[in-house]
Amino acid sequence: MTTTKLTGKNVSIGRPFEIPPGLFPAGLNVPLPIEDSTPVQYAEIIGETHRSFTKYDHRKNGGHYQTPASIAGFMAECFPYGGPYLRVLDPGSGTGILSAAVCEAAFGSGTVQSLHVDAYETDPMLVNLTHLVLAFSREWLVQRGVALTFDVKHEDFVLENAATLETTSKINGPGRSLTRLRPEYDLVISNPPYFKIGKHDPRAVVGASVVHGQPNIYALFMAISAELLSESGRLVYIVPRSFASGPYFRRFREVFFRRVVPTAIHLFESRRDVFKSQTVLQENLVITARRRMEGKALTEGQVLVSHSNAAHDLADRQGLMAPLDSVLDLSSAHKVLCIPVCEADLELVQVVRSWPNTLHSLGLDISTGPVVPFRATRFLVRGGGPDTVPLLWMHHVLPMRIEWPSTGNDKPQWIRDTPESSRLLVEDGTYVLLRRFSAKEEKRRLVAAPMVQGRLNAGMVGLENHLNYIRGVSRELDRELAQGLAALLSSTFLDRYFRLSNGNTQVSATELRIMPLPAEQDIRAIGGQIHAGLDSGTGLPEIDVLVARTLNLSAGLLAG
């Protein structure tokens, strides 16, 4: 007979396995494990029971998305089990399926003799469910000669461990040193909650050194977990890909990759099928990272990069070993995480990163359209007039061409040109316009078109906030250069390069500012050929051929 503490209640878990009465609310019929069940199988059944009993809004508000059993098993196998004792952390445990998977993998390794699991969960019902799963896992392991101890903490993981980030005097206290005043785990494994928190949320306040603005809580989980690793520890997380690039997660990436270095990344290409039936529309990945040695520079290494459509084809995943500096440029201030999934992607990264320019070095910059429709309603009109000028929205910008005015869309296509609205307008000039967003189902992220001065026959132009525009700063942006840039940004090559690090639907100006660009004479050569022999309606295949020929890109890149 063994005893387990369930949310303050001492209950007996006997053989055969029993569920104490009165532990769960009426109507929640928690099943017993069936004969020959494994810990993961039982956790999966428990998870389905919880999902069918609770409302969707409750799970969404808590950021609870049950990890599929196949993914839990895959994540547990990402850790190289080698020693006799294993200390495991499972923050945001849900129903404990990841801890259960670690228990199975630890036994399967043949080396682990005992392990301890610390699990964190804020939902009282999930706390009790995690207890049941780990209690069953303990009985399952005992029968196989492996010892398991565990502690399920009904606490907020971020608030309880934020001191490891050494963020504020309120947390640290005057003169208090936190060096090594923390548990150290061999493995941190997690499917953390996923939702945004306000900047005044206590978790955002204590994590101010890691995040800013309105952060997503999963970044705080990852940052704290990195701090809790032992010197040889590893973390395995399944998270949205959104942290990999962009300004919102820049501070997080700086902190995170100061503590850990990736050793493996698995990319799920489907936005819908990873957490099937749980209405998750994110591009997700599993990242495995090891603790970086204190004071030791990291100069080389490799990362195992693999990909599959979703959970159902994990066994058929494709992968390659990529040089660490192709995946993560640790010398860069932005620490963008790039995910090349094939040899052509590796070649593409090498070629693009060899280009000598950025927008800044070319005397250019990129800005966001100043017209925010709901704030400028009084200036927007549906029909032109003597005091109106063109207003361009995202749908007016197509690959390599601007279609204004357009039909089939009821948005106002003119904006008033008055002293009061002048701050919302830009002078008619030569620009490169880019859409800031793409639909979730679209693979193409970059949609660009040149806007040549005089094209709209107006002295001023309105650009809606869902557009970015490249403009001259220390020089004029002329037609040849604008057309070359637009063609380059419209090419399959740069779109693929952009998507290697960006899984979002948003195209931020920051990411475009740091994107490498070829020599100016090459960009002009592309633009000049368009000006000389191609019209603005040139198709993307022709653009790809033109860019590849001008830049001497290999046939492999053209086919890739």
Q: Residue 154: is its pLDDT beyond 70?
A: yes
Band of residue 3 on the pLDDT scale cut at 50, 70, 90: very low
Q: Residue 281: is its pLDDT beyond 80?
A: no
Could you tell me which residue, 346 or 300, shows the higher pLDDT?
346
Mean pLDDT of 290-317: 81
In the β-sheet with 467-472, what is the strand arrangement from edge to edge? 364-368, 467-472, 431-435, 448-451
What was the pLDDT predicted at 378? 95
Instruction: Name the average pLDDT for the chain.
Output: 85
**Domain ranges in the chain with CATH number 3.90.220.10:** 364-559
Band of residue 97 on the pLDDT scale cut at 50, 70, 90: very high
For 230-262, what is each residue's pLDDT tens digit?
999 999 999 998 899 888 888 999 999 999 999
Question: Is residue 165 within 8 Å of residue 207, measured between CB atoms?
Answer: yes
For 214-223, what is each residue's pLDDT tens digit?
778 999 999 9
Q: Residue 171: is its pLDDT beyond 90?
A: no
DSSP-derived letter for residue 9 is E
| SS3 state at 158 | helix
The string of DSSP codes covering 509-560 is HHHHHHS-B--HHHHHHHHHHHHHH--TT--HHHHHHHHHHHHT--HHHHH-
What was the pLDDT predicted at 42? 94
Mean pLDDT of 527-548: 73
Could you tell me which residue, 549 or 53, shows the higher pLDDT?
549
For domain 364-559, give the CATH superfamily: Adenine-n6-DNA-methyltransferase Taqi, Chain A, domain 2 (3.90.220.10)
Q: Residue 149: is its pLDDT beyond 70?
A: yes
Band of residue 177 on the pLDDT scale cut at 50, 70, 90: very low
What was the pLDDT predicted at 14? 47
The string of DSSP codes covering 369-390 is -SB-GGGSGGGEESS--TTEEE
The position carrying tokens 């990163």 is 353
Residues shown for the chain? 560
For 413-430, what is each residue's pLDDT tens digit?
999 999 999 999 999 999
Mean pLDDT of 198-204: 87
Mean pLDDT of 376-386: 91
Q: Residue 198: is its pLDDT beyond 60?
A: yes
Could you tell me which residue, 406 or 559, shows the higher pLDDT?
406
Q: Residue 193: is its pLDDT beyond 80?
A: yes
For 386-401, what is each residue's pLDDT tens digit?
899 999 999 999 999 9
What was the pLDDT predicted at 427? 96
The position carrying tokens 């620009």 is 431
Q: What is the pTM of this model?
A: 0.86
Band of residue 4 on the pLDDT scale cut at 50, 70, 90: very low
Q: What tokens appear for 215 in the block?
A: 């952060």
Q: Residue 11: is its pLDDT beyond 60?
A: no
Question: Angle of helix 124-142 relative to helix 39-53, nearest 10 degrees?
Answer: 160
**Residue 435 belongs to what H/E stretch?**
strand 431-435
What was the pLDDT predicted at 332? 81
Band of residue 373 on the pLDDT scale cut at 50, 70, 90: very high
Q: Residue 294: is its pLDDT beyond 80?
A: no
The position carrying tokens 């046939």 is 555
Give percent of the chain above pLDDT 70: 85
Q: Residue 5: is its pLDDT beyond 60?
A: no
Of the listed ranges 67-81, 168-182, 287-301, 520-534, the one predicted with least confidence: 168-182
What was the pLDDT predicted at 17? 65
Mean pLDDT of 78-97: 94
Give percent of the chain above pLDDT 90: 58
Q: Residue 49: is its pLDDT beyond 50?
A: yes
Query: Which amino acid, one-letter code, is at 46?
Result: I
Q: What tokens appear for 327 in the block?
A: 């995946």
What was the pLDDT predicted at 109? 95
What was the pLDDT predicted at 54? 75
What was the pLDDT predicted at 29? 81
Half-sphere exposure of 380 (CA within 13 A, CB side): 16
What was the pLDDT predicted at 531? 62
From 127, 118, 160, 126, select the one nearest 51 (Cα to Cα): 126
**Domain ranges in the chain with CATH number 3.40.50.150:** 40-341
Band of residue 137 on the pLDDT scale cut at 50, 70, 90: very high
Q: Residue 50: is its pLDDT beyond 90?
A: no
Burial class (CB in 10 A: 0-12, 13-18, 19+), 173: exposed
For domain 40-341, give the CATH superfamily: Vaccinia Virus protein VP39 (3.40.50.150)
What was the pLDDT predicted at 273? 57
